[in-house]
Amino acid sequence: MGGTPSNGGATGSAGSATPGGAGGGGAGTAAGGISGTAGSAGGSSNLVTNGTFDTAAKDPWWGYANNTTDNPADETLAVSNGQLCATMAMGGKNVWDVLIGLSGLALLPNQYYHISFSVSADANRTIKFKTGLGVAPYTDYFVESVPITATAQKVDYTYLNLRNDPMAQFQFQIGKTPGMVCVDNIVIEPVPTPVMPSYKTAAPSGHPLKDYSGVVKMGTAVDTPIFLSNPLHNAIVAGEFSMITPANSMKMNLIQPAQGTFDFTDTDALVSWAQTNGLEFRGHPLIWHTQAPDWLVNGTFDRDQMIAAMYAHIDALMGRYAGKFLYWDVVNEAIDNASGAWTFRKTIWHDRIGDDFMDLAFTHAHAADPKAKLAYNDYNIEQKGNPKADKVFELVKDLKTRGIPIDAIGFQGHYYVEPDGTTASGVPDMQAIRDNMARFAEIGVEVQITECDFRIGKPLDDTKTKLQSKFFADLLQVCIDAPNCSRFTVWGLSDLDSWVPSTFPEYDYAHLFDTQLMPKPDYFAVSQVFAQYDPNGTPTTGSAGSSGSSAGSSSSAGSSASSSAGSSASSSAGASASSSSSSSSGGCSLAPRRNGTRPWLLAALAMLGVLVSRRRSKTACQ
Ligand code: XIL
């Protein structure tokens, strides 16, 4: 057919590169993409018409090239040797600037599909394929990168379609590099729910991370439908982690796409999966200026109307999941630097409501679900002494002092090493994080690491890999040692489904699992930190704590002076903290534990049973 796609989908698809699209997702064959699926390729259930190209006809397949002056693209589409081949003299700027597409697929709600095809190119290149696209808010699609070569390879995936989508498209996104791409034997067929493969941890201790939930609960961020589509991915999340956070599905543009119209499809699917598999679910986020819907950003709202919109959003989300979520990020990223001063960020929420928007958000959230624990979440606030961190501490302290219901602070924990290997800006001072956690304990506020990743500036090398492992191990140890830190979430399971490359193009490799969903050195470093403890939380040896972790011992180069100062500061903070905190945190003691820098002290405390009781107190925070 050629020409512009009938469904207007070409631009729509690229433009609709909704947040979830950044990540990859379903693993290919190497990562065990499908398992337990039924149906045979090319069978009568195949939704694809003319996917084998046995005649010269290419209909109903179409081609599209987004040809612009700045980024010219073209495409010639023809059946050749029984395959559909696209030739590009110019590839445009992005992979989605040149497409091979099929329109009008009827995808059913809550239905798994088996997708397979064979693909080759005249030279090595990476393409993407994508399905879904038909129904707003366009989160319900599957997109995956596939490296291809001159040798035709068969690709197999499963995809869970959540919404009724009678006019979905299927696309191969093949732009960017000029050349030729050929596809053949294309199958999209409904299949029964794939069986999640049984999971065995690679941890030398034999214990997956989740076995240490009494020490610290490990979580990961997940995205629909990518997450739900891939059985191996799901098996790892269920096998290793104690909690999940939705990476995008609860962002306001997706969950309230029109004023008063809520779309809980993706979040409900994730919640249901978490419940079935026994994982805690973190609500994220309620009030945030980013990924806000157009109706809110572009509309005219005075203070009262904006407060009403805020309350309606909080009520709808917290009402739906009341009693199901323990923690909610009520306000996200509200502090910014304006002309050198740290103050409220200029956002739709702050500017239209005023400085009390956080007071109102937290107070209303508490009324909506009085049992939920309420958090403020932000980045670059992990280290005491960092001006933004100090500002946020003052803000939270002020909220507490005035009786505004806030229980927890989320340290996002997005860190990095520069492409040239320099570490001055992206690698944290662990002692400063310990000190920050301790001061929050003093005011009765829990701390959680909510979005941790350590992205590596390309190219990857051994030094950077080691630094990453050390970083994860150190930060986990800091959280373990702080009595008010009970949860540590990594922002995405793997380098396959990472948000990093599309957000920070110079960086990648930020996660604990690789693109094949295999554990990386940083996973083993994290696992090794936990292996210092019995799953019930008791240290197995007197070496538990930062002194016992090779990573921990050198956590903050050159900070030995502050390290001793820090440990005494946190222990002296202890006594008063526990009393002031018990009422605000549901009786869970926030008394700082020893920070692990003195093995002899640790052994003595363990003998006295102090450590065990404090470990239990952290468990009681859950
Ligand atoms: C990110 C998602 O992971 C991406 O897929 C999306 O494109 C942008 O948002 N701080 C937050 C998270 O609080 O919600 C953000 O998540 C990362 C930064």
**In the predicted structure, residue 58 carries a pLDDT above the cut 80:** yes
11: confidence class by pLDDT, cuts 50, 70, 90: very low
Q: Residue whose CA is closest, atom 1 of ligand 1?
A: 247
Contacts of 349 by beta carbon, 8 Å cutoff, 6+ apart: 287, 289, 306, 310, 331, 334, 357, 361
pLDDT confidence bin for 373, thresholds 50/70/90: very high
Across the range 288-299, mean pLDDT stands at 97
pLDDT value at 417 more than 90: yes
**How large is the average pLDDT for residues 38-42?**
40
Nearest CA to ligand 1 atom 14: 247
Residue 559 has pLDDT above 60, yes or no: no
Range of lowest pLDDT (181-190, 304-313, 551-560): 551-560
The three-state secondary structure class of 216 is coil
Averaged pLDDT, 522-533 = 98
Cα(449) to centroid(ligand 1), Å: 15
**What digits encode the pLDDT tens for the residues 419-477?**
999 999 999 999 999 999 999 999 999 999 999 999 999 999 999 999 999 999 999 99
CA 247 to centroid of ligand 1, rounded, Å: 6
Contact 546, 477 (CB under 8 A): yes
Name the residue with higher pLDDT: 30 or 319: 319
183 lines ligand 1 (CB under 6 A): no
Max CA separation in the chain (angstroms): 82
Residue 451 Cβ inside 6 Å of ligand 1? The answer reads yes
Residue 538 is predicted with a pLDDT of 86
Tell me, using a 6 A CB cutoff, whether residue 248 lines ligand 1: yes
Query: From the CA of 20, how far away is ligand 1's center (Å)?
Result: 9
Residue 518 or 602, more confident: 518
Question: Residue 112: pLDDT above 90?
Answer: yes
Model confidence at 515: pLDDT above 70: yes
CA distance 2 to 59: 8
Ligand 1 atom at shortest distance from the alpha carbon of 491: 3
* Ligand 1 pocket test, candidate residues 327, 498, 499, most atoms within 8 A of CB: 499
285 Cα–ligand 1 center, Å: 10
**pLDDT interval class at 540 (50, 70, 90):** confident
Choose the residue to mutate in 16, 248, 333, 376 for probing ligand 1, maximizing ligand atoms within 8 Å of C-beta.
Answer: 248
Tens of pLDDT, residue by residue over 329-367, are: 999 999 999 999 999 999 999 999 999 999 999 999 999
Per-residue confidence at 50, pLDDT binned at 50, 70, 90? very high
Nearest-CA residue for ligand 1 atom 2 is: 247
Structural contact between residues 483 and 610, judged by C-beta atoms closer than 8 angstroms: no
Per-residue pLDDT at 169:
87
Nearest CA to ligand 1 atom 13: 332
332 lines ligand 1 (CB under 6 A): yes
Q: What are phi and psi of 136, to 5 degrees?
A: -60, 150
3-state secondary structure 577-596: HHHHHCCCCCCCCCCCCCCC
* Ligand 1 site, residue 457, Cβ cutoff 6 A: no
Helix (H, G, I), strand (E, B) or coil at 61: coil
Place 146 in a pLDDT band, splitting at 50, 70 and 90: confident
- pLDDT reading at 249 higher than 90: yes
What b/e readout covers 289-325, taking b as 16+ CB neighbours within 10 angstroms? Answer: bebbbebbeeeebeeeebbebbbebbbbbbeebeeeb
Higher pLDDT, 591 or 304: 304
Mean pLDDT of the 110-133 span: 88
Question: Is ligand 1 within 6 A of the CB of residue 19?
Answer: yes
Using 50, 70 and 90 to split pLDDT, how confident is the model at 414? very high
Confidence of residue 247 (pLDDT cuts 50, 70, 90): very high
Q: Which residue puts its alpha carbon closest to atom 6 of ligand 1? A: 19
Instruction: Indicate whether 103 pLDDT > 70.
Output: yes
Q: Which amino acid appears at position 247 of this protein?
A: A
Write down the pTM of the prediction: 0.82
How many whole angstroms from 344 Cα to the centroid of ligand 1?
A: 20
At residue 136, the pLDDT reads 61
**Which pLDDT value is given to residue 539?**
87
Q: Which atom of ligand 1 is nearest to the CA of 19?
A: 7
Residues 54-89 as b/e (b if ≥16 CB within 10 A, e otherwise) read eeeebeebbbbbbeeeeeebebebebeeebbbbbbe
* Nearest ligand 1 atom to alpha carbon 503: 7
| Pocket-testing residue among 251, 377, 491, 496, ligand 1, by greatest number of atoms within 8 A of Cβ | 491
- With bands split at pLDDT 50, 70 and 90, how would you rate the model's confidence at 167? confident
Q: Which of 37 and 268 is assigned the larger pLDDT?
A: 268
Predicted confidence (pLDDT) at residue 551 exceeds the cutoff of 70: no
- Band (pLDDT 50/70/90 cuts) for residue 224 is confident
Catalytic residue numbers, as ranges: 333, 451
The residue-averaged pLDDT of 389-394 equals 98
Nearest ligand 1 atom to the CA of 23 is 5
499 lines ligand 1 (CB under 6 A): yes
22 Cα to the center of ligand 1, angstroms: 10
Residue 415 has pLDDT above 60, yes or no: yes
Residue 135: per-residue pLDDT: 58
Task: Supply the residue whose CA is at minimum distance from atom 8 of ligand 1.
Answer: 19
Between 487 and 38, the more confident residue is 487
Centre of ligand 1 from the C-alpha of residue 513, in Å:
19
pLDDT digits (tens, 9 = 90+) for 204-218: 999 999 999 999 999
Phi-psi region of 393 (alpha: psi -120 to 50; beta: other; left: phi over 0): alpha
- pLDDT for position 163: 87
Q: Does residue 246's CB lie within 6 angstroms of at least one atom of ligand 1?
A: no
More confident residue, 557 or 166: 166
